[in-house]
Amino acid sequence: MRVLMVCLGNICRSPIADGWLRQKSEIHQLNLLVDSAGTSNLHAGERPDSRMRKTALEYGVNIDDLRARQFIQEDFDRFDIIFAMDKNNLRDILKLARNKTDEQKVKLLLNEPFPNEDREVPDPYYGGQEGFNQVVQLLDVATNAFLRNYKLI
Ligand code: 4NP
Pairing type for strands 81-84 and 2-7 reads parallel
Sequence-distant (6+) residues with CB within 8 A of 109 are 5, 17, 83, 84, 85, 121, 139, 142, 146
Give dist(CA 43, CA 69) in Å, integer.
7
Report how far ligand 1's centroid is from the alpha carbon of 28 (Å): 30
pLDDT at residue number 140: 99
| CB of 42 shorter than 6 A to ligand 1 | yes
Q: What interhelical angle do 13-27 and 129-149 show, nearest 10?
A: 40
pLDDT at residue number 131: 98
pLDDT at residue number 10: 98
pLDDT at residue number 108: 99
| CB of 17 shorter than 6 A to ligand 1 | no
pLDDT at residue number 9: 98
Taking the chain (153 residues) in consecutive chunks of 10 residues, what is each chunk's mean pLDDT?
A: 98 99 98 98 98 98 98 99 99 98 99 98 98 98 98 98
| CB of 7 shorter than 6 A to ligand 1 | yes
